[in-house]
Amino acid sequence: MNGNTAPPSIPFTDPIFDFCFHPTRHVVVSGLITGYIYCHQYGTEANTLLWSTQISKKSTRGVEFNQDGSLLMTISRDKSIQTLDVDTGRLLMKIPKAHKYPINKIHALDLNRIATGDDEGIIKLWDLRTPKMAQQYISHDDFIADMTFAEGKSTLLAAGGDGVLSIHDTRKLDKKVATCTLDDELLALTTIKDYDQVVAGSQSGALYYWQWNEWATIKDKWLGHPSSVDTLCKLDEDTLCTGGNDGLLRLVSVSPDYQFEGVLGDHGEDFPVERVRLSSQNGAGDAAALLGSCGHDMNLRFWDIGDLYDSDSDDDGDKDSQESGNNTNDKKRQHDITTATTGHTKRFDCSDVNLDGLLDKNHKWAKAVTESDPNYFKDMALGQTPKILWIGCSDSRVPANQVLQLGPGEVFVHRNIANVVTHTDMSCLSVLQYSIEVLKVEHVIVCGHYNCGGVAAAYSRKQVGLIDNWLRNIKDVYRLNASSVNKEEDEQQRMRRLVDYNAIHSAQNVCYSTIVQDAWKRGQKLTVHAWVHDIADGMARKLNFKASCASDMEFIYVSNNE
């Protein structure tokens, strides 16, 4: 494949669990939740279906070519392992009940050996020539999320939902090492620096990495992602691509320090990325420049990343001009990355006037979740026990659960224009009373955000309309803190300070309410926090206000009926 055009996406009617590129041909195989496997030949103009087959009535959880692409190996939720003919999809071999528990991951070690890991943390090595289990490792207490093989070291590494990285020398039956258990789920795994470092992505969004043979301690932990890192792909020895539940494919450089370089692709914020892989070949002898990803949007997508592999300068330039060329190309690369994906950031189809598309996506999402966890919605329907009440702005760019990285049922939410809390707003007070007296939340977070349209409108002193009555509350905050706000050098900074003071003022009003005062009198555990969220970098930060009892407040607001 030549040029800068990626193949069109391959749409499916059901969720994709896994896919893999053929090592030498323009062929990609996808495994679906329905048990079907599809084999396509991909091209810049169109993709062609070569064959499809259903190997099980339960989901296909993994697909993998062996080292030379002569065999396709698959795993199923029915605990079986299969090998298929690459050209026809014909079943060549099946190992039923290969594990006691559903198999979650498969990884090819070489031409004939594979490793499989199941939902209970058991890893098995298989020689497909026999086909019999060659070795079994029990190093985990939870599901095997990912595996990788350091071929030069003959070492298999596995990441588990129990927060354990296990290391197995496949040449020695009893040679295994496990790292200390982290208070985090490890979900994705790869090696970099010619196997000198191992990187794991996690549920918290952190990247953990270890130096080879120094497994007892983490070399470093990088808190760069706003959501989970569900899949990792090494682009070269210094560059990674990560995918997570916010639908973004991020480019991460690891030298000299870990940092984001840009966004390579976008499945949509409501469509988590399940898998990202790099094509082994991009044509006869060409370097790989095609990235593939699948997610809950039920599309196998392709991303042309050829610009990342372009040489930085001509060989005949002197050192200074080479360095200048490097800087230029670095800037060009970042520009190309960010602009190439701009068109993918909108998820709502404006022509869907009856909203049937939204309902269709909802139904497919519910089906995928139920397949993954049959009791998920049943358990959710039994009740809610959130420990946090979030009072925030109605701005669509500040969704509480995503900012906090908490799931359904974990955050009770109230939102209005500019996160204003007043003693006359019955809607807000009703939410406050229900969350504190019935749900027994332990934390109330009042969170403002920079670039807030409500605060900007109040600060502008222009008449807007009915909303001016609401914005009067923010104008009062400005009046009370004018000397401090006006110390800022420019208008943008003054509005940021007003956002801070507005969040603090609303948090104080929460504390002044009889609802919170009564809760503290009862000895109820309750802390009120003021935060601010910066849309420009996605980070939430604490402001200079927190109260856990009446003594933290000014005496005039503390009721005393004794």
Question: Is 270 labeled as ligand-binding?
Answer: no
Rounded Cα distance between 200 and 224, Å, is 13
Question: Is 20 labeled as ligand-binding?
Answer: no
Helix (H) or strand (E) holding 178: strand 176-178
Nearest to 420 by CA among 450, 393, 402: 393
The residue type found at 297 is D
Rounded Cα distance between 104 and 187, Å, is 12
Give me the active site residues, please. Answer: 393, 395, 397, 449, 452
DSSP line for 248-268: EEEEEE-SSS-EEEEEEEE--
Nearest to 209 by CA among 225, 196, 194, 226: 196
The helix/strand/coil state of 299 is strand
What are the Cα distances from residue 70, in Å, to 112, 113, 292?
10, 13, 21
Pairing of strands 388-393, 411-416: parallel
DSSP lists the bridge partners of residue 84 as 72, 91
With vertex at residue 59, the alpha carbon angle to CA 55 and CA 61, rounded to the nearest 5 degrees, is 95
Residues 6 or more apart whose Cβ sits within 8 Å of residue 58:
35, 76, 77, 78
Residue 118 contacts residue 158 (beta carbons within 8 Å): no
Question: Is 393 labeled as ligand-binding?
Answer: yes
HEC secondary structure over 56-88: CCCCEEEEEECCCCCEEEEEECCCCEEEEECCC
DSSP 435: I
Rounded Cα distance between 519 and 522, Å, is 5
Residues 6 or more apart whose Cβ sits within 8 Å of residue 349:
357
Question: Is 452 labeled as ligand-binding?
Answer: yes
Query: 461: how many CB neighbours lie within 10 A of its CB?
Result: 8
Sheet-wide strand order for 144-150: 144-150, 155-160, 165-169, 176-178
Residues 6 or more apart whose Cβ sits within 8 Å of residue 151:
109, 110
- Tokens for 78? 């029915």
Residue set of the binding site: 393, 395, 449, 452
Residue set of the binding site for Zn(2+): 393, 395, 449, 452
